[in-house]
Amino acid sequence: MILVTGATGKVGGQVVAQLREMGVEVRGLTRRPEREWEVYGDLGDPATLDAALEGVDRVFLVWPTLRADAHAEAVLKKITDRVRRVVYLSSAGAVDGADPVNSSHRMIEGLLRDSGVEWTFVRGGGFAGNDLGWAAGIRADGVVREAFGGWARSVVHEADLAAVGVRALLDDAHVGAAYAVTGPRVHTQQERVRIIGEVIGRPLRFEEVPAEEAKAGFAAWLPPEAVDATFTEMLTMTAEAEPVSTAVEELTGRPARTYREWVLDHRDDFAPPVVEMTLDIACSWSYLGFNRLRKALERYRAEGGRAEVVFRPYQLAPEVTTPEPLTRVHERAFGPEAAAATEQMTGLGAAEGIAYRFDRALFANTFEAHRLIALASAQGRGEAMTERLFRAYFGEGRDVSDRATLRELAAETGVTWSDEGADELRAELAKVRVSGVPVFAARGRTLSGAQGEDTLYDLVTGQSR
């Protein structure tokens, strides 16, 4: 049995995934276990590790650097007394780095060397995953603000760090070795931003901030003694780039993944997929399709995915001026089949948690409702507002053409009301090219009708069945 600490992190998560794919029995240590292979444990508290170590003979150790250093000796003694081998995710600077982070790695390495356990050190250079810290700025305005644009590192994909660690866990040949693990090429920060822009198809800008401003930012998450040491390291690597190692290829038999490959693997973090849904609040099939899309998005987001939804307006009856009972409209449209049609739709909705009350609903012009959706979307509340409008229309019999009603619904949903946007909405409606709703579009695919949750999940993730 292999125990992986930091099992929900970037590298630890990859180690777990690779071992499980190989059919190796693995257990992941986490403070919030959720999956069947996860177990509770806290490296800051040795007493929590006994159950996690039961039956374990090898450990991939990701240490909570600085946070748990005061307990390092007791924790590592408990681990090394119980297991045969520890593969430790260390840092390239552990050899001679003077800053607190690298000093912590050096201390852990020393404790493992002295323990008598079989050890291997995977000394990562720059972790490509740290660039995910740029994602929010890139999504917001396409700008990365950092000091030292010329700071050059051979950043490494977390999957390659994990692959080296897996080889060391499984192969006796790597006992007692310390591997410097980097990517295949050196890139400055400015070059990495350019590559991200090329991958996501969006021009990005690197904005170099003054060193003192950047130091203030680092001070928010680094101890004071680490800030100056970190900047000294950045200055050194700006003048002289860190070396490139061949450890990944030597241990795995294939070249290290490029930075561009890493960005492709994390494209959705920098540019989340956009799902366009064309709908009308007065359409019961739109409500059903929206409900299924929302469930598909909940699944995707629970897995760590990001996605944005853009709502496109469509009006079933733009000529309507006076609200009237929806049942009367159905009787005109479906004749003798109206009752059966509404009963069928009511049953479909009930099976998925939607309370259709066709006997209450008022068929109304939905122009103002669409304007409110656009307003809410601009405030980051588009999905919540759309759900609230559907529920008000189909479940509560509210008049969604009435501005006073819409103001109440906006306030209830946390949306600031405005009278603007009518001209923009008319222009958007004039561009509509669909003949019915709902319609979903994402990642170059378009689907019509109230598709199933699994189909919409595949649309969001880019999968196909």
Domain check: are 254 and 289 in the same one?
no
Convert the pLDDT of each residue in 27-67 to its tens digit.
999 998 988 999 999 999 999 999 999 999 999 999 998 88
Asked if 247 and 285 sit in the same domain, the reply is: no
For residue 442, what are its two tokens?
A: 């994402």
Q: Are residues 296 and 192 in the same domain?
A: no
The more confidently predicted of residues 213 and 107 is: 107
What tokens were used for 236? 């050194």
Q: pTM for the whole thing?
A: 0.74
pLDDT, averaged across the chain? 93
Same domain flag for 55 and 109 = yes
Residues 153 and 264 in one domain: yes
Peptide bond into 438 cis (omega under 30): yes
User: Terminal CA-to-CA distance of the chain, rounded, Å?
Assistant: 34
Long-range Cβ contact pairs of 171-177 (< 8 A, separation 24 or more): 174/120, 174/251, 175/85, 175/118, 175/119, 175/120, 176/118, 176/119, 176/120, 177/120, 177/121
Three-class SS of residue 381? coil
What is the band of 465 on the pLDDT scale with cuts at 50, 70, 90?
A: very low
For 75, what's the count of Cα atoms within 13 Å in the CB-facing half-sphere? Answer: 23
- pLDDT per residue over 182-232, tens digit each? 999 999 999 999 999 999 999 999 999 987 887 777 777 677 767 777 777
* Amino acid letter for position 440: F
Q: Do residues 263 and 360 both lie within one domain?
A: no
Chosen domain end from 215, 246, 269: 269
Identify the band that residue 463 occupies on the pLDDT scale cut at 50, 70 and 90.
confident
Determine the structural domain holding residue 328 and report its residue range: 272-461
Residue 264 in this model has a pLDDT that exceeds 60: yes
Work out whether strand 324-325 and strand 85-91 pair parallel, antiparallel, or are unpaired.
unpaired
Residue 140 — pLDDT band, cuts 50, 70, 90?
confident
| 59 and 179 inside one domain | yes
Give the model's pLDDT for residue 318: 95
50 token code pair? 């006994």
The count of structural domains within the chain is 2
Both 236 and 337 in a single domain?
no
236 and 317 fall within a common domain: no
Q: Taking the alpha carbons of 139, 145, 150, 155 in that order, is the dihedral positive or negative? A: negative
The CATH code of the domain that includes 154 is 3.40.50.720
Euclidean distance between CA atoms 181 and 160, whole angstroms: 8
pLDDT tens sequence across 388-432: 999 999 999 999 999 999 999 999 999 999 999 999 999 999 999
Domain boundary among 215, 236, 269: 269
Do residue 225 and residue 374 come from a single domain? no
Distance, CA of 375 to CA of 362 (rounded, Å): 23
222 in the same domain as 324:
no
d(CA 88, CA 181): 13
The CATH number of the domain holding residue 403 is 3.40.30.10
Q: Would you say residue 238 has pLDDT above 80?
A: no
